[in-house]
Chain A
Amino acid sequence: GAGVSQSPRYKVAKRGQDVALRCDPISGHVSLFWYQQALGQGPEFLTYFQNEAQLDKSGLPSDRFFAERPEGSVSTLKIQRTQQEDSAVYLCASSPARGQGTGELFFGEGSRLTVL
């Protein structure tokens, strides 16, 4: 597609529910990143994929967070048993370059998750 597409744009979940957030990166982009951005904060790294391989998941805050990119294109971030502190905007970014931070990142518009 023309840009990085994320869905849903907005998600309201009750505490304890599972949610799945989808990212469709720019076609052909090797690298894909997930970030969590709380209000008034900069993006916080969650995880990084190079093609289908999850090379870095050190930013995932707990084992309730899980991400996959099985065919090296679309990625899904799953949050199990959501908690109020999970409320944030989840940004997905892709890059044609290999490696983290070696080039320009193209961001999606984010999925805003609110946990009640």
Chain B
Amino acid sequence: EDKVVQSPLSLVVHEGDTVTLNCSYEVTNFRSLLWYKQEKKAPTFLFMLTSSGIEKKSGRLSSILDKKELSSILNITATQTGDSAIYLCAVNAGNNRKLIWGLGTSLAVNP
């Protein structure tokens, strides 16, 4: 059965810290991996990764895919309280190209 596992499930850090969130997957016919940020409302898109080893960057956030290790990491440097959210990883896989979602990592950034 296809699955996506995120770790850690929750994390508490202080402002200014750097965090690394992990997403690992076991799927058939991998196509892409997506990261979303979910605050109290709707998930918002961060990155889509299809190629191994190519870092995608947006401000203080960056992400990279490792197809050998079947995983991806999301890095956030110089964290701010506004980074507090649930970070969701989803993998597009299978012949029906369905998105399989992880449970998310709940990040709390304290001032």
List residues of A whose CB falls within 8 A of some B CB.
4, 40-45, 56, 58, 91, 99-110
**Of B44, B48, B97, B101, which contacts A42 at CB under 8 A?**
B101
Chain B residues near A42 (CB, 8 Å)?
4, 88, 90, 101-104
**Of A43, A45, A58, A101, which contacts B43 at CB under 8 A?**
A43
**Of B45, B96, B103, which contacts A104 at CB under 8 A?**
B45
Chain A residues near B102 (CB, 8 Å)?
42
Do A101 and B92 touch across chains, with their CB atoms under 8 A apart? yes
**Of B42, B44, B90, B103, which contacts A101 at CB under 8 A?**
B90
**Known contacts A42-B101, A101-B97, A107 near B44 by CB under 8 Å:** yes
B41 on interface, CB distance cutoff 8 Å: yes
CA distance A103 to B48 in the complex (A): 8
B34 on interface, CB distance cutoff 8 Å: yes
**Number of B residues, CB within 8 Å of A:** 22
Residue of B nearest to A92 (CB): B42
Do B41 and A109 touch across chains, with their CB atoms under 8 A apart? yes
Residue of A nearest to B46 (CB): A104
- CB 8 Å contact bits of B82-107 with A (1 = contact, 0 = none): 00000010101000111101111000
Chain B residues near A100 (CB, 8 Å)?
92, 96-99
CA distance A71 to B44 in the complex (A): 26
Min CB distance A76 to B, Å, is 19
Segment 43-76 of B: residues with Cβ below 8 Å from A: 43-45, 48
Do B99 and A41 touch across chains, with their CB atoms under 8 A apart? no
CA distance A13 to B101 in the complex (A): 28
Residue of A nearest to B92 (CB): A101
13 A-B residue pairs with CB within 8 Å: A42-B102, A56-B96, A58-B96, A100-B97, A100-B99, A101-B90, A102-B97, A105-B36, A107-B42, A107-B44, A108-B42, A109-B41, A109-B42
Chain A residues near B99 (CB, 8 Å)?
45, 100-101, 105
CA distance A4 to B99 in the complex (A): 19
Chain A residues near B31 (CB, 8 Å)?
101-102
CA distance A40 to B34 in the complex (A): 19
CA distance A101 to B102 in the complex (A): 14
